[in-house]
Amino acid sequence: MSSALQVDFTPTTSTLLATASAYLGVYIALDAEAYAALLSDGFTLEMAPASARLPTLDRDSCISRINAIKEVMSTFPVTIIRSWPNPPLRQVLVWAKSEAHFHEHLRDGDIEQWELKGEYMFLMTMDASGRRVKQVLEFVDSKATADITAMVFRALEKKETLV
C-alpha cells in the first residue's frame, strides 16, 4: 500500500477575494497592463442576460475593451457591495456598482445625463493558484449598460470632431 502525499491546492478565501478585488480595481485606472496580468491565457468573459445581446469576449478582446473605455472615460470605478467566496470551486460571486466618469472634454449637453451608474453580478472563476482569473460570468444591469453604451458612442462622435 502506497501512501501518496496529498497536497491541497485550494486557494484561500483571502487570495480569491484579493484577486476579485484586483479584477474590479482595474476599472479605476483603466490599466490594460494590470488587467492583462490578472487574466489567464484562456480567459473568457460571458455576459448575461441574453436580452442584453452582448458577445462573449476572450482575453485579447477584454484587454482591447479596457483600452477603448479609457479613450472616453477617465475612470469607471466598480465598487464591491458584497462578495461570496467559494474556495473549493475557486470562485467568488460579487455584487457591485459602477459609476461612469467620461472625460470632461467629450461631454456635451446636460452634465447629469453623463453621470451614469449601474449594478452588476460577477461570478469569477480563478485558476488553481487563485491569483489569475480564468472565467467571468457578468450579469449586467441591462438598462444602465444600454445607457452607458449610448453615451460611449456619443463621446466617440465628439472625439472625432476634436481631431
pLDDT mean for each 10 residues of the chain (163 residues): 64 98 97 98 96 94 96 96 98 98 89 90 98 98 90 90 82
Termini Cα distance of the chain: 75
Query: Mind giving me the DSSP string for 26-44?
Result: HHHHT-HHHHHHHEEEEEE
In a domain, 19, yes or no: yes
- Report yes or no on 38 lying in a domain: yes
Contact 84, 99 (CB under 8 A): no
Instruction: Examine residue 115 and state whether it is found in any structural domain, yes or no.
Output: yes
Cβ–Cβ contacts within 10 Å for residue 23, how many? 22
Task: Report yes or no on 97 lying in a domain.
Answer: yes
Q: Is residue 8 part of a domain?
A: no
Tell me if 5 is assigned to some domain. Answer: no
CATH number of residue 119's parent domain: 3.10.450.50
pLDDT at 3 (0 to 100)? 56
Question: Residue 52: its pLDDT value, please?
Answer: 86
Beta bridge mates, 127:
none
Domain count, the chain: 1
CA 94 – CA 40 distance, rounded (Å): 19
Whole-number pLDDT of residue 7:
60
Q: What is the pLDDT of residue 109?
A: 78
Instruction: Give the per-residue pLDDT at 4.
Output: 62
| Domain extent for 90 | 13-162
Q: Quick one: pLDDT at residue 162?
A: 86
Torsion sign over Cα 58, 53, 67, 15: negative
